[in-house]
Amino acid sequence: MHILILGGDGYLGWPTAMYFSNRGHDVTVVDNYFRRNACTELDVGMLYPVPTLLERARIWHELTGREIKVVIGDLKDPEIIRSFFNGRVSYQWAVNQGFTGIPATVIHYAEQPSAPYSLINYKYANITVANNLLITNNLVWALRDFSRDTHVIHIGTMGEYGTPNIDIPEGWIEIEHKGRKDKFLFPRHASSLYHTTKIMDTDLLWFGVRMWDLRVTDLMQGPVYGMETEDSAIDNRLMTLFNYDEIFGTIVNRFVTQAVVGYPLTVYGKGGQTRGYLNINDTLQCVHISENTPAKKGELRIFNQIMETFSVNELAEMTRRVGAKLGYEVEINHLENPRKESEEHYYNPTYQGLIEIGVKPHYLTDDVMEGMFQVVANYQSNIRKDVIFKGIKW
Ligand code: USQ
Protein backbone atom coordinates (compact mmCIF):
# COMPACT_ATOMS: atom_id res chain seq x y z
CA MET A 1 0.00 0.00 0.00
CA HIS A 2 1.25 3.49 -0.78
CA ILE A 3 0.79 5.74 2.25
CA LEU A 4 1.27 9.49 2.02
CA ILE A 5 2.03 11.35 5.25
CA LEU A 6 1.45 15.11 5.24
CA GLY A 7 3.54 16.73 7.97
CA GLY A 8 6.00 13.81 8.02
CA ASP A 9 8.70 15.68 9.94
CA GLY A 10 6.54 16.43 12.99
CA TYR A 11 6.21 14.94 16.47
CA LEU A 12 3.73 12.33 15.20
CA GLY A 13 4.50 12.35 11.47
CA TRP A 14 7.99 10.86 11.62
CA PRO A 15 7.16 8.01 14.05
CA THR A 16 4.14 7.22 11.83
CA ALA A 17 6.37 7.07 8.75
CA MET A 18 8.75 4.56 10.39
CA TYR A 19 5.84 2.53 11.75
CA PHE A 20 4.21 2.02 8.34
CA SER A 21 7.56 1.58 6.56
CA ASN A 22 8.51 -1.15 9.01
CA ARG A 23 5.28 -2.94 8.21
CA GLY A 24 6.15 -3.11 4.52
CA HIS A 25 4.18 -0.13 3.23
CA ASP A 26 5.46 2.18 0.56
CA VAL A 27 5.71 5.47 2.49
CA THR A 28 6.10 9.03 1.21
CA VAL A 29 6.44 11.97 3.60
CA VAL A 30 6.09 15.64 2.83
CA ASP A 31 6.91 18.56 5.08
CA ASN A 32 8.08 22.19 4.86
CA TYR A 33 9.93 22.18 8.23
CA PHE A 34 7.29 24.52 9.64
CA ARG A 35 7.74 23.28 13.21
CA ARG A 36 11.53 23.44 13.19
CA ASN A 37 11.54 26.89 11.61
CA ALA A 38 8.97 28.18 14.09
CA CYS A 39 11.08 26.85 16.99
CA THR A 40 14.13 28.63 15.56
CA GLU A 41 12.23 31.87 14.93
CA LEU A 42 10.69 31.92 18.40
CA ASP A 43 13.91 30.61 19.97
CA VAL A 44 12.23 27.91 22.07
CA GLY A 45 14.73 25.09 21.58
CA MET A 46 14.08 21.34 21.75
CA LEU A 47 15.31 18.69 24.17
CA TYR A 48 17.84 17.20 21.73
CA PRO A 49 18.91 17.89 18.14
CA VAL A 50 17.08 15.95 15.44
CA PRO A 51 18.56 15.30 11.97
CA THR A 52 16.66 16.82 9.05
CA LEU A 53 13.90 14.78 7.44
CA LEU A 54 16.16 13.99 4.48
CA GLU A 55 18.90 12.77 6.84
CA ARG A 56 16.48 10.71 8.89
CA ALA A 57 15.18 8.96 5.78
CA ARG A 58 18.78 8.17 4.82
CA ILE A 59 19.58 6.84 8.30
CA TRP A 60 16.39 4.75 8.23
CA HIS A 61 17.42 3.28 4.89
CA GLU A 62 20.96 2.49 6.11
CA LEU A 63 19.69 0.76 9.24
CA THR A 64 16.67 -1.12 7.90
CA GLY A 65 17.09 -1.28 4.12
CA ARG A 66 13.63 0.26 3.87
CA GLU A 67 12.83 3.41 1.97
CA ILE A 68 10.83 6.44 3.07
CA LYS A 69 10.49 8.82 0.14
CA VAL A 70 10.81 12.50 1.04
CA VAL A 71 9.41 15.66 -0.50
CA ILE A 72 10.22 19.00 1.09
CA GLY A 73 7.48 21.43 0.16
CA ASP A 74 4.73 23.68 1.39
CA LEU A 75 1.35 22.04 1.06
CA LYS A 76 -0.35 25.42 0.95
CA ASP A 77 0.80 25.30 -2.68
CA PRO A 78 -1.95 23.20 -4.28
CA GLU A 79 0.39 21.91 -7.02
CA ILE A 80 2.52 20.05 -4.46
CA ILE A 81 -0.35 18.04 -3.07
CA ARG A 82 -1.84 17.48 -6.52
CA SER A 83 1.52 16.11 -7.72
CA PHE A 84 1.07 13.00 -5.52
CA PHE A 85 -2.15 12.16 -7.31
CA ASN A 86 -1.38 13.20 -10.90
CA GLY A 87 2.02 11.48 -11.14
CA ARG A 88 4.14 14.64 -11.35
CA VAL A 89 5.79 14.33 -7.93
CA SER A 90 9.52 14.89 -7.67
CA TYR A 91 11.21 13.35 -4.64
CA GLN A 92 14.14 15.07 -2.90
CA TRP A 93 15.21 11.81 -1.33
CA ALA A 94 14.32 8.36 -2.54
CA VAL A 95 16.36 5.35 -3.61
CA ASN A 96 13.82 4.58 -6.27
CA GLN A 97 12.88 7.85 -7.96
CA GLY A 98 9.92 6.40 -9.87
CA PHE A 99 6.28 7.37 -9.17
CA THR A 100 4.94 5.04 -6.50
CA GLY A 101 1.35 5.18 -7.63
CA ILE A 102 -1.63 6.94 -6.16
CA PRO A 103 -1.70 6.77 -2.35
CA ALA A 104 -4.35 4.43 -0.95
CA THR A 105 -4.25 6.38 2.33
CA VAL A 106 -3.28 9.95 3.20
CA ILE A 107 -2.50 10.69 6.82
CA HIS A 108 -2.93 14.40 7.41
CA TYR A 109 -0.80 15.84 10.23
CA ALA A 110 0.26 18.97 8.34
CA GLU A 111 -1.17 21.47 10.79
CA GLN A 112 0.13 24.24 12.97
CA PRO A 113 -0.62 22.31 16.19
CA SER A 114 -0.17 24.79 19.02
CA ALA A 115 -2.92 26.71 20.80
CA PRO A 116 -0.52 29.29 22.32
CA TYR A 117 1.21 29.85 18.93
CA SER A 118 -2.15 30.69 17.35
CA LEU A 119 -2.69 33.41 19.95
CA ILE A 120 0.72 35.13 20.11
CA ASN A 121 -0.62 37.96 17.94
CA TYR A 122 -2.53 38.55 14.69
CA LYS A 123 0.43 37.44 12.57
CA TYR A 124 0.64 33.99 14.14
CA ALA A 125 -3.16 33.79 14.12
CA ASN A 126 -3.06 34.34 10.34
CA ILE A 127 -0.29 31.78 9.83
CA THR A 128 -2.39 29.23 11.72
CA VAL A 129 -5.58 29.93 9.79
CA ALA A 130 -3.83 30.02 6.39
CA ASN A 131 -1.76 26.90 6.98
CA ASN A 132 -4.43 24.69 8.47
CA LEU A 133 -7.34 25.60 6.24
CA LEU A 134 -5.52 25.88 2.92
CA ILE A 135 -3.78 22.54 3.32
CA THR A 136 -7.00 20.75 4.19
CA ASN A 137 -8.81 22.45 1.32
CA ASN A 138 -5.99 21.60 -1.13
CA LEU A 139 -6.20 17.98 -0.05
CA VAL A 140 -9.97 17.86 -0.52
CA TRP A 141 -9.67 19.32 -4.04
CA ALA A 142 -6.80 17.04 -5.06
CA LEU A 143 -8.90 14.02 -4.04
CA ARG A 144 -12.00 15.39 -5.75
CA ASP A 145 -10.08 15.86 -9.00
CA PHE A 146 -7.87 12.74 -9.06
CA SER A 147 -8.63 10.08 -6.45
CA ARG A 148 -11.95 9.97 -4.65
CA ASP A 149 -11.21 6.48 -3.36
CA THR A 150 -8.15 7.45 -1.31
CA HIS A 151 -8.85 7.16 2.42
CA VAL A 152 -8.01 10.30 4.44
CA ILE A 153 -7.01 9.89 8.06
CA HIS A 154 -7.12 13.34 9.59
CA ILE A 155 -5.89 14.12 13.07
CA GLY A 156 -8.57 16.22 14.66
CA THR A 157 -8.64 17.22 18.29
CA MET A 158 -10.81 16.63 21.35
CA GLY A 159 -10.51 20.39 21.84
CA GLU A 160 -13.06 20.82 19.03
CA TYR A 161 -15.77 19.73 21.47
CA GLY A 162 -14.48 21.92 24.31
CA THR A 163 -15.73 21.03 27.77
CA PRO A 164 -19.54 20.95 27.47
CA ASN A 165 -21.74 20.24 30.45
CA ILE A 166 -23.11 17.09 28.75
CA ASP A 167 -21.48 13.78 27.70
CA ILE A 168 -19.34 13.91 24.53
CA PRO A 169 -20.16 11.25 21.90
CA GLU A 170 -17.82 10.19 19.08
CA GLY A 171 -18.46 12.99 16.64
CA TRP A 172 -22.21 12.82 16.06
CA ILE A 173 -25.37 13.60 17.99
CA GLU A 174 -29.01 12.89 17.20
CA ILE A 175 -31.22 15.85 17.94
CA GLU A 176 -34.98 15.80 18.33
CA HIS A 177 -36.51 19.19 17.67
CA LYS A 178 -40.24 19.96 17.54
CA GLY A 179 -41.10 16.33 17.04
CA ARG A 180 -38.55 15.58 14.27
CA LYS A 181 -35.10 13.96 14.51
CA ASP A 182 -31.83 14.30 12.61
CA LYS A 183 -28.13 13.50 13.08
CA PHE A 184 -25.54 16.31 13.23
CA LEU A 185 -21.91 16.89 14.09
CA PHE A 186 -21.76 17.37 17.85
CA PRO A 187 -21.80 21.11 18.69
CA ARG A 188 -18.29 22.48 18.95
CA HIS A 189 -16.80 25.11 21.31
CA ALA A 190 -13.08 25.54 20.84
CA SER A 191 -11.07 27.42 23.44
CA SER A 192 -8.25 28.55 21.13
CA LEU A 193 -7.86 29.80 17.58
CA TYR A 194 -5.83 26.68 16.72
CA HIS A 195 -8.68 24.47 17.94
CA THR A 196 -11.12 26.61 15.93
CA THR A 197 -9.16 25.87 12.74
CA LYS A 198 -9.55 22.16 13.48
CA ILE A 199 -13.33 22.61 13.65
CA MET A 200 -13.14 24.31 10.26
CA ASP A 201 -11.01 21.43 8.94
CA THR A 202 -13.69 18.99 9.98
CA ASP A 203 -16.25 21.10 8.14
CA LEU A 204 -14.13 21.18 4.96
CA LEU A 205 -13.70 17.42 5.06
CA TRP A 206 -17.39 16.86 5.78
CA PHE A 207 -18.24 19.03 2.78
CA GLY A 208 -15.95 16.89 0.59
CA VAL A 209 -17.60 13.74 1.91
CA ARG A 210 -21.11 15.04 1.17
CA MET A 211 -20.32 16.52 -2.26
CA TRP A 212 -17.86 14.05 -3.74
CA ASP A 213 -18.21 10.87 -1.69
CA LEU A 214 -14.73 11.15 -0.17
CA ARG A 215 -13.76 8.64 2.54
CA VAL A 216 -12.56 10.28 5.75
CA THR A 217 -11.65 9.16 9.26
CA ASP A 218 -11.28 12.05 11.70
CA LEU A 219 -9.39 11.09 14.86
CA MET A 220 -10.22 13.48 17.68
CA GLN A 221 -7.02 13.28 19.60
CA GLY A 222 -6.17 14.50 23.10
CA PRO A 223 -2.72 15.72 24.24
CA VAL A 224 -0.08 13.08 23.42
CA TYR A 225 2.90 12.24 25.65
CA GLY A 226 6.13 10.29 25.21
CA MET A 227 8.97 10.20 22.71
CA GLU A 228 10.12 6.61 22.26
CA THR A 229 8.60 4.12 19.87
CA GLU A 230 9.67 0.61 18.89
CA ASP A 231 11.17 1.96 15.65
CA SER A 232 13.14 4.81 17.21
CA ALA A 233 14.67 2.39 19.74
CA ILE A 234 17.13 1.17 17.09
CA ASP A 235 19.02 4.48 16.95
CA ASN A 236 18.75 7.74 18.93
CA ARG A 237 18.95 9.74 15.71
CA LEU A 238 15.50 8.39 14.83
CA MET A 239 13.84 9.82 17.94
CA THR A 240 11.03 12.26 17.29
CA LEU A 241 11.09 16.02 17.97
CA PHE A 242 10.54 16.75 21.65
CA ASN A 243 9.40 20.19 22.81
CA TYR A 244 9.01 21.21 26.44
CA ASP A 245 8.53 24.96 25.93
CA GLU A 246 5.27 26.81 26.54
CA ILE A 247 4.37 27.00 22.86
CA PHE A 248 4.97 23.55 21.38
CA GLY A 249 5.34 21.37 24.49
CA THR A 250 2.28 19.47 25.69
CA ILE A 251 1.61 19.13 29.36
CA VAL A 252 2.98 15.69 30.33
CA ASN A 253 6.19 16.22 28.33
CA ARG A 254 6.52 19.64 29.95
CA PHE A 255 5.91 18.48 33.51
CA VAL A 256 8.51 15.68 33.29
CA THR A 257 11.07 18.11 31.86
CA GLN A 258 10.29 20.72 34.51
CA ALA A 259 10.68 18.11 37.25
CA VAL A 260 14.05 16.97 35.92
CA VAL A 261 15.44 20.50 35.76
CA GLY A 262 14.00 21.60 39.14
CA TYR A 263 11.47 24.10 37.73
CA PRO A 264 8.22 24.24 39.78
CA LEU A 265 5.41 22.57 37.79
CA THR A 266 3.38 25.17 35.91
CA VAL A 267 -0.22 24.32 36.81
CA TYR A 268 -2.43 26.92 35.12
CA GLY A 269 -5.10 28.28 37.46
CA LYS A 270 -6.98 25.85 39.68
CA GLY A 271 -5.74 22.82 37.72
CA GLY A 272 -9.14 21.15 37.40
CA GLN A 273 -8.86 21.27 33.57
CA THR A 274 -9.53 17.67 32.49
CA ARG A 275 -8.50 16.25 29.12
CA GLY A 276 -8.17 12.84 27.48
CA TYR A 277 -4.56 11.67 27.04
CA LEU A 278 -2.72 9.09 25.01
CA ASN A 279 0.74 7.60 24.60
CA ILE A 280 2.54 8.35 21.33
CA ASN A 281 2.57 4.59 20.66
CA ASP A 282 -1.22 4.58 20.79
CA THR A 283 -1.40 7.31 18.16
CA LEU A 284 0.48 4.92 15.86
CA GLN A 285 -1.79 2.02 16.76
CA CYS A 286 -4.97 4.06 16.23
CA VAL A 287 -3.83 5.38 12.86
CA HIS A 288 -2.78 1.88 11.78
CA ILE A 289 -6.09 0.30 12.74
CA SER A 290 -7.98 3.13 11.02
CA GLU A 291 -5.92 2.51 7.89
CA ASN A 292 -6.73 -1.20 8.03
CA THR A 293 -10.47 -0.61 8.33
CA PRO A 294 -11.05 2.43 6.12
CA ALA A 295 -14.11 4.67 6.14
CA LYS A 296 -16.61 3.87 3.42
CA LYS A 297 -17.17 6.04 0.36
CA GLY A 298 -19.20 9.07 1.43
CA GLU A 299 -18.51 8.45 5.12
CA LEU A 300 -17.02 10.84 7.69
CA ARG A 301 -16.11 8.41 10.47
CA ILE A 302 -15.15 10.03 13.77
CA PHE A 303 -13.35 8.41 16.70
CA ASN A 304 -12.32 10.01 19.97
CA GLN A 305 -8.63 9.16 20.19
CA ILE A 306 -7.91 9.17 23.92
CA MET A 307 -7.22 6.33 26.33
CA GLU A 308 -7.87 7.90 29.76
CA THR A 309 -8.61 11.26 31.35
CA PHE A 310 -6.65 13.29 33.90
CA SER A 311 -6.94 16.73 35.42
CA VAL A 312 -3.87 18.98 35.42
CA ASN A 313 -3.72 18.54 39.23
CA GLU A 314 -3.66 14.74 38.86
CA LEU A 315 -0.81 14.96 36.35
CA ALA A 316 1.12 17.31 38.64
CA GLU A 317 0.64 14.92 41.59
CA MET A 318 1.79 11.95 39.51
CA THR A 319 4.87 13.89 38.35
CA ARG A 320 5.69 14.79 41.96
CA ARG A 321 5.23 11.15 43.10
CA VAL A 322 7.35 9.64 40.31
CA GLY A 323 9.97 12.37 40.70
CA ALA A 324 10.22 11.72 44.44
CA LYS A 325 10.83 8.02 43.79
CA LEU A 326 13.74 8.97 41.53
CA GLY A 327 15.18 11.48 43.99
CA TYR A 328 13.82 14.72 42.47
CA GLU A 329 12.15 17.22 44.75
CA VAL A 330 9.23 18.42 42.65
CA GLU A 331 7.40 21.61 43.60
CA ILE A 332 3.92 22.40 42.25
CA ASN A 333 3.11 26.02 41.44
CA HIS A 334 -0.36 27.33 40.59
CA LEU A 335 0.15 30.19 38.12
CA GLU A 336 -2.48 32.66 37.03
CA ASN A 337 -3.98 30.94 33.97
CA PRO A 338 -2.79 32.65 30.76
CA ARG A 339 -5.54 30.83 28.85
CA LYS A 340 -9.29 31.40 28.79
CA GLU A 341 -10.71 27.99 29.71
CA SER A 342 -12.85 26.35 32.41
CA GLU A 343 -10.74 25.31 35.35
CA GLU A 344 -13.47 23.21 36.96
CA HIS A 345 -15.91 21.44 34.68
CA TYR A 346 -17.83 18.31 33.80
CA TYR A 347 -15.98 16.02 31.35
CA ASN A 348 -17.36 12.72 30.15
CA PRO A 349 -16.26 11.77 26.62
CA THR A 350 -16.95 8.40 25.00
CA TYR A 351 -13.86 6.66 23.60
CA GLN A 352 -14.83 3.09 22.88
CA GLY A 353 -14.81 3.16 19.07
CA LEU A 354 -11.09 2.57 18.52
CA ILE A 355 -10.94 -0.07 21.24
CA GLU A 356 -13.86 -1.86 19.56
CA ILE A 357 -11.86 -2.09 16.32
CA GLY A 358 -8.82 -3.50 18.10
CA VAL A 359 -6.70 -0.80 19.78
CA LYS A 360 -5.03 -2.02 22.99
CA PRO A 361 -4.43 1.02 25.20
CA HIS A 362 -1.15 1.84 26.90
CA TYR A 363 -1.91 3.74 30.10
CA LEU A 364 0.08 6.48 31.81
CA THR A 365 1.31 4.53 34.83
CA ASP A 366 4.04 5.59 37.24
CA ASP A 367 6.40 3.18 35.44
CA VAL A 368 5.68 4.74 32.05
CA MET A 369 6.31 8.22 33.44
CA GLU A 370 9.49 6.95 35.09
CA GLY A 371 10.72 5.83 31.66
CA MET A 372 10.12 9.36 30.36
CA PHE A 373 12.07 10.84 33.31
CA GLN A 374 15.02 8.61 32.41
CA VAL A 375 15.13 9.72 28.78
CA VAL A 376 14.71 13.41 29.65
CA ALA A 377 17.42 13.16 32.34
CA ASN A 378 19.90 12.06 29.65
CA TYR A 379 19.51 15.49 28.07
CA GLN A 380 19.24 17.54 31.27
CA SER A 381 22.06 19.87 30.31
CA ASN A 382 20.16 20.92 27.15
CA ILE A 383 17.07 22.09 29.05
CA ARG A 384 16.52 25.85 28.93
CA LYS A 385 14.54 27.21 31.86
CA ASP A 386 13.85 30.51 30.08
CA VAL A 387 11.51 28.89 27.51
CA ILE A 388 9.35 27.02 30.02
CA PHE A 389 6.94 29.84 30.83
CA LYS A 390 6.56 33.26 29.29
CA GLY A 391 2.80 33.62 29.71
CA ILE A 392 1.29 33.95 26.21
CA LYS A 393 -2.12 35.35 27.05
CA TRP A 394 -5.35 34.55 25.26
N1 USQ B 1 -1.60 23.31 31.05
C2 USQ B 1 -1.13 23.66 32.31
N3 USQ B 1 0.19 23.93 32.44
C4 USQ B 1 1.07 23.84 31.39
C5 USQ B 1 0.59 23.48 30.12
C6 USQ B 1 -0.75 23.22 29.98
O7 USQ B 1 -1.89 23.72 33.29
O8 USQ B 1 2.26 24.10 31.60
C9 USQ B 1 -3.03 22.98 30.86
C10 USQ B 1 -3.69 23.81 29.77
O11 USQ B 1 -4.17 25.03 30.29
C12 USQ B 1 -4.78 22.85 29.29
C13 USQ B 1 -4.17 21.46 29.49
O14 USQ B 1 -3.10 21.64 30.41
O15 USQ B 1 -5.91 22.96 30.12
C16 USQ B 1 -3.62 20.82 28.22
O17 USQ B 1 -2.71 21.73 27.63
P18 USQ B 1 -1.65 21.28 26.51
O19 USQ B 1 -0.78 22.48 26.24
O20 USQ B 1 -1.00 20.02 26.90
O21 USQ B 1 -2.60 20.92 25.30
P22 USQ B 1 -3.46 21.82 24.30
O23 USQ B 1 -3.06 23.25 24.28
O24 USQ B 1 -4.89 21.55 24.58
O25 USQ B 1 -3.05 21.22 22.89
C26 USQ B 1 -2.48 19.92 22.74
C27 USQ B 1 -1.77 19.86 21.39
C28 USQ B 1 -2.81 20.01 20.29
C29 USQ B 1 -3.89 18.96 20.47
C30 USQ B 1 -4.52 19.09 21.86
C31 USQ B 1 -5.53 18.02 22.17
O32 USQ B 1 -0.79 20.88 21.31
O33 USQ B 1 -2.17 19.87 19.03
O34 USQ B 1 -4.89 19.15 19.52
O35 USQ B 1 -3.46 18.94 22.84
S36 USQ B 1 -6.83 18.60 23.22
O37 USQ B 1 -6.23 19.24 24.41
O38 USQ B 1 -7.64 17.48 23.61
O39 USQ B 1 -7.56 19.59 22.48
**Cβ of residue 157 lying under 6 Å from some atom of ligand 1:** yes
pLDDT in tens, 76-113: 999 999 999 999 999 999 999 888 999 999 999 999 99
Confidence tier at 9 by pLDDT (50, 70, 90): very high
pLDDT at 140 (0 to 100): 98
**Cβ of residue 114 lying under 6 Å from some atom of ligand 1:** yes
pLDDT at 264 (0 to 100): 98
**Cβ of residue 334 lying under 6 Å from some atom of ligand 1:** no
Please state the φ and ψ torsions of residue 120, each to the nearest 5 degrees: -65, -50
| Residue 234 CB neighbour total at 10 angstroms | 14
Cα angle 18-106-207, degrees, rounded to a multiple of 5 = 150
**Cβ of residue 128 lying under 6 Å from some atom of ligand 1:** no
Please list the residues that pair with 275 across neighbouring strands.
310
**Cβ of residue 162 lying under 6 Å from some atom of ligand 1:** no
pLDDT in tens, 243-285: 999 999 999 999 999 999 999 999 999 999 999 999 999 999 9
Q: Which residues are catalytic?
A: 157, 194, 198
Distance 23 CA to ligand 1 centre (A): 31
By alpha-carbon position, which residue is closest to atom 30 of ligand 1? 223
pLDDT in tens, 168-222: 999 999 999 999 999 999 999 999 999 999 999 999 999 999 999 999 999 999 9
Please state the φ and ψ torsions of residue 185, each to the nearest 5 degrees: -60, 140
Distance 355 CA to ligand 1 centre (A): 23
By alpha-carbon position, which residue is closest to atom 10 of ligand 1? 268
- What ligand 1 atom has the least distance to the C-alpha of 159? 39
**Cβ of residue 35 lying under 6 Å from some atom of ligand 1:** no
pLDDT in tens, 122-160: 999 999 999 999 999 999 999 999 999 999 999 999 999
Distance 275 CA to ligand 1 centre (A): 8
pLDDT in tens, 24-59: 999 999 999 999 999 999 999 999 999 999 999 999
Cα dist from 191 to 63, 160, 175, 306, 312, whole Å: 43, 8, 24, 19, 16
Please list the residues that pair with 305 across neighbouring strands.
221
By alpha-carbon position, which residue is closest to atom 39 of ligand 1? 159
